[in-house]
Amino acid sequence: MIKLAYAILDRPKIELPLKKITVKKGDILQRKGDINTKAYIVESGLLRSYTIDDKGKEHIYMFGPENWLVADICETNTPCQLYIDVIEDAVLEVASKEELMERGPDIDALLRRLNTMQARIIMLMSSNAIDRYEHFIQTYPNIIQRVPLKMIASYLGITPEALSRVRNELSHRK
Amino acid sequence: MIKLAYAILDRPKIELPLKKITVKKGDILQRKGDINTKAYIVESGLLRSYTIDDKGKEHIYMFGPENWLVADICETNTPCQLYIDVIEDAVLEVASKEELMERGPDIDALLRRLNTMQARIIMLMSSNAIDRYEHFIQTYPNIIQRVPLKMIASYLGITPEALSRVRNELSHRK
DNA sequence: CCTATGCCTTGATGTACATCAAGAAAAAAA
DNA sequence: TTTTTTTCTTGATGTACATCAAGGCATAGG
């Protein structure tokens, strides 16, 4: 009977039609503190999620290119932690988190994301600026052409100046 | 019919009996590079998972106190990233990840973990040593008495010396 | 019990990266 | 186009934390 549940889970998901919206560069989809925020599936374009710390500095948490699910992981009715805005004009599917759950949670996607985050945490704890940058260009080779370097710096947890010097250093090495 | 699958998911899980083992302080349960590693549910005691970087330095990824699920998130047949060992004598339930999945994936637990990791990433990117420590003692008040400070330093991504000075500073501030 | 090992602290020094400031180049706006 | 705004770079300086070294306390093992 366990097997039964598993088999049902494993069936191709039935895709409910979700609301589709078009957004423009610069639009803000979610602010820190909003409640009952939506989840966005990126069909085309590019999103980013980020925080702003007490000193007013932005820290990019994640980029959301095509096919990514961008959402703040927080419980119903509790304020969210992240801002989400639009870096490149985008077409999005919008869903409440409940709708997504009803579609059937995508366990593989969740596990993949956990894996990504695990790798990021390990990187943040153990790598210097150069290694972080090299790791980034390997992991997201297609993002790098699409966003200003200062956003990549923000994602890596360093300043734009430091990133500039890292790139300089790397290009001079042979 | 979506509803059907959802209802089944939502039923109280049928708990298969899992293998139970007793392990002692210092035992190593998993090494970086192992494949098809197990998942451990901590019934009592305390585990930790960590990496060792190229300079031989340990970075604690996560503590595993009572009721935690400790596992490396990696795909079947690919080498894992983390070491797992025993900090306090422990009783564990051991399961292959497949067994866990058959029990029915615990979505809530997955989401909670994602949330924890999100908070950790944000913290690592934006906080200094003092804030990290204060965040830690708020989030894990019961862990702090149970592990040597150098492990907490390792979890926070700072050196034991730096942690010592942080604590000093905090106790002198009134 | 004594000895050894690990843990925590403190000081001196080093370093990676941040901050501040300014200018050139590129992109966006007008 | 010209103007304005952003982006990127480079240099000078500052700082948070790392590293290295040593000593005092515990705790554990023989």
CATH number of the domain bearing residue A97: 2.60.120.10
Same domain? A125 vs A158 = yes
Same domain? A76 vs A136 = no
pLDDT value at residue B101: 76
Say whether pLDDT at B8 is over 70. Answer: no
Same domain? B138 vs B110 = yes
pLDDT confidence bin for A16, thresholds 50/70/90: low
Tokens at residue A10, please?
A: 């494993």
Same domain? B87 vs B113 = no
Tally the C-alpha atoms within 13 A of residue B141's C-alpha that lie toward its C-beta.
1
In a domain, A45, yes or no: yes
Same domain? A96 vs A132 = no
User: How much of chain A exceeds pLDDT 90, in percent?
Assistant: 63
Tens of pLDDT, residues B75-92: 778 899 899 999 999 999
Tokens at residue B135, please?
A: 């965040």
| Least CB–CB distance from B117: residue in A9, A101, A117 | A117
Q: Tell me, in Å, how far CA of A146 is from C1' of D7?
A: 14
From residue A79, alpha-carbon distances to A28, A74, A101 in Å are 16, 7, 20
| Least CB–CB distance from A121: residue in B16, B110, B117 | B117
pLDDT value at residue B56: 85
Q: Among B80, B103, B126, identify where a domain stops.
A: B103
Tens of pLDDT, residues A73-99: 887 788 998 999 999 999 999 998 888
pLDDT confidence bin for B4, thresholds 50/70/90: very low
Q: Which residue of A has its CA nearest to B80?
A: A115
pLDDT value at residue A174: 54
Indicate yes or no: strand D within 7 A of the C-beta of A168: yes
Tokens at residue A170, please?
A: 């790397």
| Least trusted range by pLDDT, from A5-19, B66-80, B108-122 | A5-19
Q: Between A77 and A71, whose confidence is greater?
A: A71
In a domain, B6, yes or no: no
> In whole angstroms, what is the distance from residue A159 CA to residue A136 CA?
15
Q: What is the mean pLDDT of residues A28-50?
A: 93
Q: Which nucleotides of D are covered by protein (CB under 7 A)?
A: 6-12, 16-21
- What domain range is A170 assigned to? 106-174
Q: Among B44, B71, B103, identify where a domain stops.
A: B103
| Least CB–CB distance from A121: residue in B6, B74, B121 | B121
In a domain, B3, yes or no: no
Q: Look at B61 and A121 and tell me if their CB atoms are within 8 Å.
A: yes
Type of residue at B139: T
A130 contact partners, CB below 8 Å, separation of at least 6: A166, A169, A170
Same domain? B141 vs B73 = no
Q: What is the mean pLDDT of residues B96-124?
A: 84
Q: Which of A16-25, A117-126, A139-148, B152-161 has the highest mean pLDDT?
A: B152-161
Structurally, how many domains does chain A consist of?
Answer: 2
Q: Among A76, A105, A134, identify where a domain stops.
A: A105
Which residues of chain A have a Cβ shorter than 8 Å from any chain B Cβ?
A: 1-6, 8-9, 11, 14, 16, 51, 53, 57, 59, 61, 73-74, 81, 101-105, 107, 110-111, 113-115, 117-122, 124-126, 157
State how far Cα B89 lies from the chain centre.
Answer: 16
